[in-house]
Amino acid sequence: MLLNPELKTWLKKFHEFHGRPLRVLHIGNIASNAYINAKLQRKIGVDSYLIAETDTYVMNSPEWEDSDFEGNWEDDCNPNWAKIDLKGYKRPEWFISGRLEACLVNITARMCTPPYVPSQVEFLIKGLYITLLFIFSFVFNITFKFFKNLLYIATLFTYNIVFIVVKFIVNIFHCITRTFISLFNLIKGFFVSIIYVCIVIASVLIITLKLPVNKEKIYNKYIKIVNFSKILLKKFLPTTSFLKNALVSFRSYLSNFKLMQNSHTSSSPLTEEFSRLFPDRKDKLTEKDTLPFIFSSHIWKKIFSHFDLVQCYGPHPIWGLLSQNTKYVALEHGTLRDFTLKDNPMHRLIALAYRNAKHTFITNGDCLEYAKKINLENYSAMIHPLDLEPFEKVNQEDVDYIRNQYKADLLLFCPIRHDWEIKGTHIVLQSLPHIIAKTDKSVMLILCEWGQEVNRSKKLINELKIQKYVKWVRPLPKIKLAKYLKAADVILDQMALPHFGGTAPQSLAAGTPVIMSYKPESTAWMFPEPAPILPAFNAEEISEKVMQALDPEWRKKFKQQAKEWIYKYHSPKFLLNEHLKVYKKVLESD
């Protein structure tokens, strides 16, 4: 049982009261954390969705998490999935990506009850309708982007003259859109009238002229005309309201221009709230800081209206703040450390967004310090989401296949990205000569060709003259990664931060010893029991811990400890219960 009885009962009652399951939206899919959370929540009956927008990075893709694919995806930032054998895998419908406007249409359509199914007649008519709508949308987008850029230029240079011009043009377009909407209603009314006028005239002519007609045949034709008109009136005409809505939205967007025309001189609730919440900060939030986000926040507000709760990851709580959503929670993965304290518009908005969130999940142990620096009140510890299924499915045949590829007695695996300052990858490389010197076994270190400093690492490998002990692989998708973690003798994780992220728990789930710069005190507030990780802080210590990890008696004890710790503190059960406790508290507080 994944949920405790109290939360299970609460979900059931929520469903009975609302006539549908709890509906949660996740936004911001960094490292697929949002995807894993949404996927696990759907398993317990939560109607979770994920909007990834235009994020196409390979490691943030569902295929990366759930498909045991083979082949070259080419570009990491824009993978070509069409050229890869995904072995029948298809993206789940609840994973929604694309331009934000398209995401809004997708979400809105999915929330319709009952599902919308067009008739044959409507399907044919819509072909012409959509063609015209496409032309309108094309012109609309070009016009909108032009004024958006014009307004942004105004904030960067001068206000007075440009804003006078924009104000004049905005007023003109207000008049044009109002005229279009009125014209639209006029055409609609004329179309409706003409159908019935034709029916009445035909009937009068038949009666007054006493035409020799087959009454039964006329009656049948009459019925067909009436039915056809009903199809047009009841199905086609309401769909054309999309055009009307587009014009209304355009007018609404233009209203944003009006609201911002005096933004350089006036204060707003957000700027005042920032000053109140952060009185000691020298930098202050201004209207100009919010300007680049206002247009998208208008769309996010419509999307959020379909959900009971929104969970925003990383910097995405900004959208909860700017859309004036009162029911959003935040999940940080280093965000509080890296993006809240500098004199920068993004930092100011993120800090304010986290302060306004109903609750914040903190996944990095050291970020408690930064939560206190921005006076965060409602927060709790949260693990990096981990789906145990890929690790449970790895068999001995998978392990043997990988080990036979590298033909080493001691197989080391370092899957972290090559970013020396943040990950300390160079310390791992410097430890390899020490490890080789301490053992008679043949040694092989597998590295992932990933990060901004891969070339720098390759240069260091050449300087250390350890090329023949190193093999490079491209970043590994989750199912393949689970096999490598299980096949390795020891995992070498990051050597810069005192707390673990996603790699160490995955190593423990695979039952493989992991070495990193872990300080148990950094996560003591999160877990009452420290993770069974081997701590090391320099090259010599890493080599010593590798030797310790090879001891058969120690490994036997470690495997049991790792299994118990994972299922107690880092399992889907722990993750789901902690999330649902917060959701329940937030929704019951309003």
Q: How far apart are CA 473 and CA 195, in angstroms?
A: 69
Task: Give a yes or no: residue 252 inside a domain.
Answer: yes
DSSP 550: T
Verify that 39 and 53 share a domain, yes or no. Answer: yes
Q: Which residues pair with 472 in a beta bridge?
A: 447
Residues 359 and 393 in one domain: no
Contact 504, 516 (CB under 8 A): yes
Return the HEC string of 517-535.
Answer: CCCHHHHCCCCCCCCCCEE
Residue 161 within any structural domain of the chain: yes
Q: How far is CA 455 from CA 45, 77, 418, 449, 528, in A?
A: 47, 19, 9, 9, 41
Same domain (yes/no): 363, 393? no
CB-count burial class (<10 Å; 0-12, 13-18, 19+) for 16: exposed
Q: Which residues touch 286 (CB under 8 Å, ≥6 apart)? A: 271, 345
Token match 């990491």: residue?
76
Three-state secondary structure along 301-346?
A: HHHHCCCCEEEEECCCHHHHHHCCCCCEEEEECCHHHHCCCCCCHH
126 shares its domain with 251: yes
Query: What residues contact 515, with CB distance under 8 A and at least 6 apart?
Result: 490, 491, 492, 493, 533, 534, 535, 536, 542, 545, 546, 549
Cis peptide before 79 (omega within 30 of 0): no
Residue 269 lies in a domain: no
d(CA 454, CA 457): 5
- Does any domain span residue 16? no
Among 386, 406, 440, which residue terminates a domain? 386
The H or E element that residue 271 is part of is helix 269-277
Tracing tokens 């509080």 back to the chain, one arrives at 336
For the chain, helix (H) and strand (E) counts, in that order, are: 25, 13
> Do strands 514-516 and 490-492 pair parallel, antiparallel, or not at all (unpaired)?
parallel
The closest of 361, 253, 418, 408 to 586, measured between CA atoms, is 361
Q: Do 517 and 498 contact (CB within 8 A), yes or no?
A: yes
Structural domain includes residue 584? no
Nearest to 495 by CA among 462, 525, 534: 534
Residue 538 burial (10 A CB sphere; 0-12, 13-18, 19+)? middle
User: Which one of 358, 386, 414 terminates a domain?
Assistant: 386
Q: What share of the chain is helix, strand, coil (3-state, %, to 5)?
A: 60, 10, 30
- Stated pTM of the model: 0.76
Phi and psi of 334, rounded to 5°? 95, 0
pLDDT at 495: 95
Taking Cα atoms as reference points, which of 536, 140, 567 lies closest to residue 392?
567
Q: Are the CB atoms for 446 and 484 separated by under 8 Å?
A: yes
Range of the domain at 183: 120-260
Cα–Cα distance for residue pair 394/452, rounded to 1 Å: 31
The encoded tokens of residue 300 equal 């996010």
In this structure, are 415 and 554 located in the same domain? yes
Is position 333 within any domain? yes
- At residue 419, φ and ψ (nearest 5 deg) are -135, 95
- Give me the pLDDT at residue 259, please: 45
Mark whether 126 and 222 lie in a shared domain: yes
Structural domain contains residue 278: no
Could you give the 3-state DSSP secondary structure of residue 223?
A: helix
Residue 517, φ and ψ in degrees, nearest 5? -80, 55
Residue 432 lies in a domain: yes
What's the structural domain count of the chain?
A: 3
pLDDT given at position 424: 95
Contact 477, 67 (CB under 8 A): yes
**Residues 371 and 436 both lie in one domain:** no
235 and 149 together in one domain: yes
Q: For each of the chain's 590 residues, which pLDDT tens digit applies?
A: 678 999 999 999 999 999 999 999 999 998 899 999 999 999 999 999 999 987 889 999 999 999 998 888 888 888 988 888 898 899 999 999 988 878 887 888 788 655 444 454 454 454 455 445 445 555 555 555 555 555 555 554 444 555 556 556 656 665 665 566 555 555 655 665 565 556 556 655 555 555 555 555 555 555 555 555 545 544 444 444 444 454 444 444 444 444 444 443 334 788 999 999 999 999 999 888 887 787 788 889 989 999 999 999 999 999 999 998 889 999 998 899 999 999 999 999 999 999 999 999 999 988 999 999 999 999 999 999 999 999 999 999 999 999 999 989 999 999 999 999 999 999 999 999 999 999 999 999 999 999 999 999 999 999 999 999 999 999 999 999 999 999 999 999 999 989 998 899 999 999 999 999 999 999 999 999 999 999 999 999 999 999 999 999 999 999 999 999 999 999 999 999 999 999 999 999 86
Alpha-carbon dihedral angle through residues 224, 229, 230, 231, given to the nearest 10 degrees: 90
83 with 164, same domain: the answer is no
Does residue 382 sit in the same domain as residue 502? Answer: no
pLDDT of residue 263: 41
Q: Are residues 398 and 466 in the same domain?
A: yes
Q: Where are the alpha helices (DSSP H) in 114-262?
A: 120-156, 160-208, 215-231, 237-239, 241-260
Residue at a domain's end among 367, 386, 405: 386
> What are the C-alpha distances in Å from 142 to residues 17, 139, 170, 243, 455?
45, 5, 15, 17, 42
Closest CA to 490 of 551, 538, 537: 551
For residues 337 and 371, give the distance between their C-alpha atoms in angstroms, rounded to a whole number.
8
Q: How far apart are the first and last CA of the chain?
A: 29
Q: What is the CATH number of the domain that holds 442?
A: 3.40.50.2000
- 544 and 406 part of one domain: yes
